[in-house]
Structure 1
Amino acid sequence: MRLLIVLGPPAVGKMTVGRAVAERSSYRLFHNHHTIEMLLDVFDHGTPPFTTLNSEFRRRVVEEAAASGTDLLFTFVIDMDGESEAAWLRDFAAPYGDRVAVVELVADLDTRLVRNRTEHRLAEKRSKRNLEWSDANVRELEAGYRMTSEPGRDAPGERLLARWPHLVIDNTDLSADETAERILAWLVTDQ
């Protein structure tokens, strides 16, 4: 069993690529909006109950997946400079021990803004359907956070990624299927 974490900024294609990987392998997709969308029906995003339950639900899913021997693929947006996010992701992955790998997807902002409006994304993520708000959110996160790693930088995100096998893929001009094939080929060589 293994935990595959797919990181990257919003609308880079984490969920879509994750689904393509799951369709071709034993991995089960657990994308970050599985818990977000459910909780938004009851709590506003970022409120204490939302934050607590989102973290607890995710933690419990990964604990049970690890205990049952499930290959799990989890998607996540991380602030590479954020100590608390790196600590959360480290603790989240702990049930899998050293059986963790990370794929980081990168694409330019213009590509991500186009992807932010895809039918698949909007079908899976109700909270992204207000396109004016969603596009502004992608731009705001781009301006306020560093969501991709930088080789040689000493920051919490880079230190965390150094613990695990880590592949960076620029999927700007790749389909989800092409990206999934690259990930699966890398996982075979990384075993």
Structure 2
Amino acid sequence: MHLVCITGPPAVGKMTVGRAVCDLTGFRLFHNHMSIEPLLGVYDFGTPSFRRINAMIRREVIAESVVADLPGLVFTFAIDLDQPGDLEQLHELIEPVEAAGAPVDLVELHAAQEVRLAREGGADRMDHKRSKRDIDWARSHTLDLESRARFNTDPARDGERLLPGHRHLRLDNEHGDARATAERIVTELALPRR
């Protein structure tokens, strides 16, 4: 199984690009809101219970994907690069894939904040992310998160790789053409095509 992790800030296009990568490769998509949305009816976002159960779901889905012998999995998430716990959790999530000797690649998307805020309310986000349906709240939430978290790497500060030993692509996704970004990912990572 090949794990492709797509990271970046809110509304950068992780799910949409991930879906396009899956269309080209036949990989499966596990986007971050697939574990977030079911929990929001029970736990408040970011509480210890929410974080613990969310991490457990993600860990189990990724581990089971190796056992299920999927050809590949695209996993999307946002990570606060200034929180050591977030980085530790990422390493825990990919550990079953590494233990199986399978490849893990990281794709980091970036786009200007004003571009991302304008994407709130888009049909794709509304269809798959219930918590984002209140557009004013979603924009405010993004601004709040970004005031206290860092979602993109800075090579001068973070070195060349977020996951040492694994390929790491940094791609501009301001243009909003998910298919073009997916084509670059598939080509640059030499992923198998359908």
TM-score by length of 1: 0.92
Which residue of structure 2 lines up, in the alignment, with residue 168 of structure 1? 170
Structure 1: state its 5+ residue gaps.
Answer: none
Residue from 107, 111, 117 that aligns with 2:115: 111
Alpha-carbon contact 2:6-2:106 (below 8 Å) kept: yes
Residue from 166, 183, 186 that aligns with 1:184: 186
Instruction: Verify: 1:42 aligned to 2:46, yes or no.
Output: no
Inter-partner Cα distance in structure 2 for 1:154 and 1:9: 16
Which residue of structure 1 lines up, in the alignment, with residue 73 of structure 2? 72
Structure 2: state its 5+ residue gaps.
Answer: none
Instruction: Verify: 1:148 aligned to 2:152, yes or no.
Output: yes
Inter-partner Cα distance in structure 1 for 2:47 and 2:12: 26
Q: Per-residue deviation at 1:34?
A: 0.1
* Identity in percent: 44
User: SS at 2:169's partner residue?
Assistant: strand
Task: Give the number of aligned pairs.
Answer: 188
Which sits farther off after the overlay, 128-137 or 42-51?
42-51
User: SS at 2:105's partner residue?
Assistant: strand
User: SS at 1:102's partner residue?
Assistant: strand
Which sits farther off after the overlay, 104-113 or 162-171?
162-171
Which residue of structure 2 lines up, in the alignment, with residue 83 of structure 1? 84
Which residue of structure 2 lines up, in the alignment, with residue 134 of structure 1? 138
Letter in 1 for 2:97: Y
Cα 1:93–1:25 change in 2 (3 A) is same
Inter-partner Cα distance in structure 2 for 1:46 and 1:145: 13
Inter-partner Cα distance in structure 2 for 1:162 and 1:176: 27
Alpha-carbon contact 2:97-2:103 (below 8 Å) kept: yes
Which sits farther off after the overlay, 128-137 or 28-37?
128-137
List per-residue Cα deviations over 1:75-113 (Å, max 9, x = no partner). 010111211100000110011115100000000011101
